[in-house]
């Protein structure tokens, strides 16, 4: 027996008090607010990461005060890190993909064609529609934002429309598709946790997701029409198109890596593997289609094979950079690389570790239990689930915790009140999945801000779908609209046909 195990056996473990649970939350609020006050949006470049690590230390001290050993704290932290392995590989793969797609001409080609086709007056609405369709077909909001979303934000810069509003439209569409696709891992996970059929879950999701997206679509359309008269193209469309055509060989062949990525996603290839394969394929294609870009990027020696290998490798590691003489084009294309994701990974590690310690040592349940007891009616119960899920996105920093924990905690309560489990699956997805990109230090918020190049706090006000969806879900609970109850003669957890309160 180790010394830590002996110490743990000698110390009685106490249940956390309410003050134990409140202290880490207060520290989080103070440190995050302080970092934002002192550094503004630059707080995401390190200060908030430090704040989250300090919060994790406070949670560890509270756990040790209650009799848990340091070894137990370490095990909880290790579990947190193992839970984000998939996210780490996806982040690094997206960084590599953006760098190589810029090098090989995929993103410049998307921008080139996008400028010709899309108009500022309906650009935001079209962005939401495009991202919704793609996310629904491949089942991934992250892949959608990290690929077509990057191109659409780049086109926004070229057209002179708002990058922040465009990012909000990208995220609105991406999360619509994520919620309604049977290929989405969060959709499947939510259905599994609440023990309902995934297609039944998707049908119930449509009751809030489709109206919420229609609201978002109308809002984006109105914003586009109102603001289109204010659009001032900072460079000139003809100059931009000419410059992109001078730098790259613009051809539909440059879009083949996007087609490959879509096909692999539909075939359910693991996301990180699909992203890396698409990046490598783009690199090979770029060696043939963009030799001059390759040569300029690596200060070529004349050997095209060595230049291409070096260029792709460097773009995957450190991203692509270019000096075209047009600042807007340089800003659009000089991006990507695995190293561009390191700040985001730091943020996710701090947030998820803090959340895992809160869950492991009972601090979250200590806060949630009183809320469940006070939720006497269906409307208050729905509001409590939303508060819990969104709160977990804030304090735990990970959408999976915000999905899994409320589903596990509230499932028996819904069953006791004869509420069909599909109500809970819809509510947790609306509250947990959809609100995750609105929190800067959440893994989803950090990812979206990093890949789109727009700070989370800048795009959050325009992610209309991500507000409308949880609002409608809670409103249904309050009004009884589309709320299914269990058939009294049915004891297997399936929904009956009795709607309303």
Please give the full DSSP string across 119-148, using - where no structure is assigned: -GGGHHHHHHHHHHHHHHHH--HHHHIIII
What is the predicted pLDDT for the residue at 491? Answer: 43
Q: What is each CA distance from 424 to 191, 222, 439, in whole angstroms?
A: 9, 33, 22
Rg of the chain (C-alpha set) = 24
Q: How many CB atoms lie within 10 A of CB 222?
A: 12
pLDDT per residue rounded down to tens, the chain (501 residues)? 555 555 555 568 899 998 998 999 889 888 888 887 888 767 778 888 898 899 999 999 999 999 999 999 999 988 888 877 877 888 888 889 889 999 999 988 888 887 777 788 889 999 999 999 888 877 788 888 888 888 889 888 778 889 999 999 999 999 998 888 886 778 887 887 788 888 899 999 999 999 999 999 999 999 998 876 665 554 455 555 667 788 888 899 999 998 898 888 778 788 788 889 999 999 999 999 998 888 889 876 667 788 889 999 999 999 999 887 777 778 778 888 999 888 878 877 887 788 788 888 988 878 877 877 787 888 999 999 999 889 888 877 778 778 877 887 788 888 888 999 999 999 999 998 899 999 988 888 988 998 898 999 999 999 999 999 999 999 999 999 888 888 743 444 444 433 333
Asked if residue 147 lies in contact with residue 424, where contact means CB atoms within 8 angstroms, the answer is no
Q: How many CB atoms lie within 10 A of CB 119?
A: 12
What is the predicted pLDDT for the residue at 330? Answer: 80
Tell me 325's DSSP state: S
What is the predicted pLDDT for the residue at 2? Answer: 54
Locate tokens 């793609």: which residue? 134
Lookup: tokens for 2: 């180790």
Q: Which residues pair with 484 in a beta bridge?
A: 499
Interacting residues of 233 by C-beta distance below 8 A, sequence separation 6+: 158, 159, 160
Question: Phi and psi dihedrals of 101, rounded to 5?
Answer: -65, -30
CA distance 184 to 179: 7
Q: How many CB atoms lie within 10 A of CB 343?
A: 16
pTM of the full structure: 0.77
Lookup: tokens for 152: 């659409």
């Amino acid at each position: 027996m180790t010394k830590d195990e002996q110490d743990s056996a000698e110390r009685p473990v106490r249940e956390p008090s309410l003050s134990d649970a409140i202290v880490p939350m207060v520290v989080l609020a103070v440190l995050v607010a302080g970092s934002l006050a002192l550094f503004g949006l630059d707080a995401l470049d390190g200060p908030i990461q430090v704040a989250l690590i300090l919060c994790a230390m406070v949670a560890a001290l509270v756990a040790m005060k209650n009799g848990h050993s340091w070894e137990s704290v370490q095990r909880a932290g290790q579990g947190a890190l193992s839970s984000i392995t998939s996210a780490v590989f996806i982040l690094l793969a997206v960084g590599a993909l953006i760098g190589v797609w810029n090098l090989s001409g995929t993103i410049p080609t998307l921008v080139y064609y996008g400028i010709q086709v899309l108009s500022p007056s309906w650009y935001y609405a079209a962005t939401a529609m495009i991202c919704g369709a793609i996310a629904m077909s491949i089942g991934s909001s992250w892949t959608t934002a990290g690929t077509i979303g990057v191109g659409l934000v780049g086109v926004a810069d070229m057209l002179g429309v708002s990058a922040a509003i465009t990012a909000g439209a990208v995220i609105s569409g991406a999360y619509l598709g994520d919620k309604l696709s049977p290929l989405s891992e969060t959709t499947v996970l939510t259905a599994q946790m609440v023990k309902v059929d995934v297609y039944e879950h998707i049908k119930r999701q449509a009751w809030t997701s489709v109206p919420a997206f229609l609201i978002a679509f109308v809002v984006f359309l109105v914003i586009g029409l109102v603001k289109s008269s204010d659009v001032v193209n900072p460079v000139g469309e003809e100059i931009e198109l000419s410059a992109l055509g001078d730098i790259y060989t613009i051809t539909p062949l440059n879009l083949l890596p996007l087609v490959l990525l879509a096909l692999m996603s539909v075939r359910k290839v693991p996301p990180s593997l699909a992203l890396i394969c698409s990046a490598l394929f783009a690199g090979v294609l770029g060696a043939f289609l963009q030799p001059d870009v390759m040569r300029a990027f690596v200060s070529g020696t004349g050997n095209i094979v060595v230049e291409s290998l070096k260029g792709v490798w460097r773009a995957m590691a450190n991203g692509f950079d270019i000096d075209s003489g047009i600042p807007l084009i340089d800003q659009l294309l000089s991006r990507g690389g695995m190293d561009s994701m390191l700040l985001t990974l730091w943020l996710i590690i701090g947030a998820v570790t803090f959340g895992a310690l809160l869950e492991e040592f009972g601090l979250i349940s200590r806060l949630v239990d009183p809320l469940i007891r006070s939720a006497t009616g269906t409307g208050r119960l729905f509001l409590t689930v939303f508060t819990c899920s969104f709160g977990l996105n804030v304090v735990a920093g990970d959408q999976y915790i915000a999905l899994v924990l409320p589903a596990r905690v509230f499932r028996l309560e819904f069953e006791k009140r004869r509420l069909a489990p599909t109500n809970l699956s819809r509510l947790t997805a609306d509250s947990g999945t959809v609100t995750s990109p609105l929190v800067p230090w959440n893994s989803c918020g950090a990812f979206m801000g990093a890949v789109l190049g727009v700070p989370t706090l800048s795009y959050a006000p325009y992610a209309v779908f991500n507000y409308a969806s949880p609002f409608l879900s809670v409103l249904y609970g309050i009004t009884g609209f589309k709320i299914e109850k269990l058939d009294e003669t049915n004891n297997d957890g399936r929904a009956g046909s009795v709607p309303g309160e």
